[in-house]
Amino acid sequence: MEQELLKILNKRGVSALTDKALKSSKYYDEIVKLNKTHLDIEEFCCLLLNREDDYIMYISICNDDN
């Protein structure tokens, strides 16, 4: 599962790890089960892949008001 998520992340970025985008994935149910702290799916996947910095940058860019 991690390898597939990493491929998605590297190819299309954090925005491709949304709940909506992953629902059609065969890994979605497993991700939801593992996400015991109920983080948003993008954040959880980045933590799972040890790519927290990618998520932080994604959030920073999305919330940039300038």
Question: Whole-angstrom Cα distance, residue 50 to residue 66?
Answer: 29
Task: Write out pLDDT tens, residues 15-40.
Answer: 999 999 999 889 999 999 999 999 99
The helix (H) or strand (E) run that includes residue 6 is helix 2-12
Task: Write out pLDDT tens, residues 2-12.
Answer: 999 999 999 99
Is the Cβ–Cβ distance between 1 and 44 less than 8 Å? Answer: no
Task: Write out pLDDT tens, residues 45-65.
Answer: 999 999 999 999 999 987 665
Distance of CA 48 to the CA centre of its chain: 9
Greatest alpha-carbon pair distance for the chain in Å reads: 38
Could you tell me which residue, 62 or 42, shows the higher pLDDT?
42
Question: Whole-angstrom Cα distance, residue 18 to residue 47?
Answer: 14
